[in-house]
Amino acid sequence: MKKNKLFNKVKELIRENKGISIRKLSNRGIDIFILYIQQLTDRERLSIEIIKPILDYGKKDILDIDKMVSSIIYIDDISIDNDINKISDYILKGKSVIIISNDERYIVADTTKVGKREIKSPEIESTLRGAKDSFNENLDDNLSLIRYRIKDPELKVDNYSIGRRSKTNVAVIYIKDIANEKYVDEIKNKLESIDIDGIFESGYIQKFLLNNAYNLFPQTGIIERSDTACAHLIEGKICILVEGSNLALVVPKVFIEFIDAGDDHYDNIYLSIFSKFIRVLCFMIALTLSAAYVAVVSFHPDILPPQYILTLASSRATVPFNALLEAGIMEMVAEILREASIRLPQQIGPAIGIVGTIVIGQAAVAAGLVSPLMVIIVALSIMSSFAAGDFTIIKPIRILKFMMLFFTGVLGIFGFVMGLIIITINMCSINTLGTSYVAPLSPFNLRDLVNYFLGDITITKKRPKLLKTRDKTRQ
């Protein structure tokens, strides 16, 4: 009865025309059907490791499922199943299903072949020192890069299939005797609760991991380099890889860690401290410099040296806008150039961005629309926004700097301070997996703060307290 259902399933698949190819073989009176999708199957392996051995089998014993699995088929990844409802799912994932007329079970062989990029140097996380390999869109390649670096039997990979229609493979990676069990369980529960048609990039998963969809600041880290991902795993964090995405996610990640860069852990300790302070300064410049210009020019020019007040006034004599409009227009022009350079083809994007900035800036000054100082401020603000280790932390700054401009333009220095307070309160109210977003500043932990800025493995012998890891000692 069961085998009739299997053959009925074959007829149903033929009738539905799902793009499934069916190869029929016969050996010693036994009918064998091999079901697969040509575009997802390594047809050379299918021919050499499955079809040829079956056709060459000439022994007197009756051919059955167990004999095919144990001594005929060459494929290494092979299993036996009897659930006819899973046949379509197996085939759509790129596997080959083998049905035999004298058995109620069927064979599932992994003959998947998917087009993919080679492992190349990172494009987002540029580095002067460190590994040059980066994740690509193939999940197996990405897992191999992690297993190549971490050969610990406690490294765990939990696999999920998410998306009713896409059935995207998602891997949750952690080191069992280091990572906090509550964090791992919370991530798993969130992934299991996702009910959506399709997942096509890690950004989809990132949205479901947010505690609040309206939070402006990112709560998960973006990782392109495999060595950085391994460093986070060793620290006690959880890494999430999504099939079809070249960017991994890491959780939990607090605000101060977004300013960190991989080079900091390889370079001299003093250079690491200096670089991090530079990035913190760049973050503040990108957020507040234009607003500070408006506060000084419109409300408090008396804080400048007397001779410079006259110079500034003469440079703005022909500007037809007040300082708020001037700064707002120039910041918006800079954002337009930034967005345009990203969307343009790679060969001409950087050239357009640089040439456009120079030409528009000079033309605006020559036409008397903006002051030279405003062009310098906007250029410095844009350059500072590229200094962060994780580019996602700059995305909220692109929005918040306009809020700072508005508050400052309306209320002066009081609005400037009020804007900073609102941003700080918002950041303090965010938590990621129960960890404060502004840790280790609040709740204050001197050891974690010092270890972050030192970034030297010979000195930072304890893992961050905020991660609440099982194994708290690095060395």
pLDDT score recorded for residue 2: 45
Q: Scanning the structure block, which residue is given the tokens 């050379």?
A: 44
Amino acid symbol at 411 = L
CA distance 77 to 66: 15
Integer angstrom CA distances of residue 388 from 52, 222, 351, 464: 56, 12, 22, 21
- Contact in structure between 134 and 142 (CB atoms under 8 Å): no
Which of the 8 DSSP states describes residue 386? Answer: T
Tell me whether residue 93 is exposed, middle or buried, using C-beta atoms within 10 angstroms of its C-beta: 0 to 12, 13 to 18, 19 or more: middle
Q: Give the ranges where 316-433 is alpha helix by DSSP (H).
A: 323-343, 349-366, 372-384, 394-411, 413-428
Can you read off the two tokens belonging to residue 448?
Answer: 């974690």
The whole-chain average pLDDT of the chain stands at: 85
CB-based contacts of 70: which residues, under 8 Å, 6+ apart? none
Low-confidence ranges of the chain (pLDDT < 50): 1-3
Q: Give the ranges where 316-348 is alpha helix by DSSP (H).
A: 323-343
pLDDT score recorded for residue 363: 80
pLDDT score recorded for residue 358: 66
Please write down the long-range contacts of 37-45, taking CB distance under 8 Å and 24 or more positions apart: 37/91, 37/92, 37/94, 40/92, 40/93, 40/94, 40/112, 40/113, 40/114, 41/94, 41/96, 41/111, 41/112, 41/113, 42/111, 42/112, 42/113, 43/113, 45/75, 45/111, 45/113
Cis amide linkage into residue 252, ω under 30° from 0: yes
Q: Scanning the structure block, which residue is given the tokens 């006259």?
A: 310
pLDDT score recorded for residue 356: 67
Please write down the long-range contacts of 315-321, taking CB distance under 8 Å and 24 or more positions apart: 315/371, 315/372, 315/373, 316/371, 318/368, 319/368, 319/369, 319/370, 319/371, 320/368, 320/369, 321/369, 321/370
- Contact in structure between 251 and 221 (CB atoms under 8 Å): yes
From first CA to last CA, the distance across the chain in angstroms is: 62
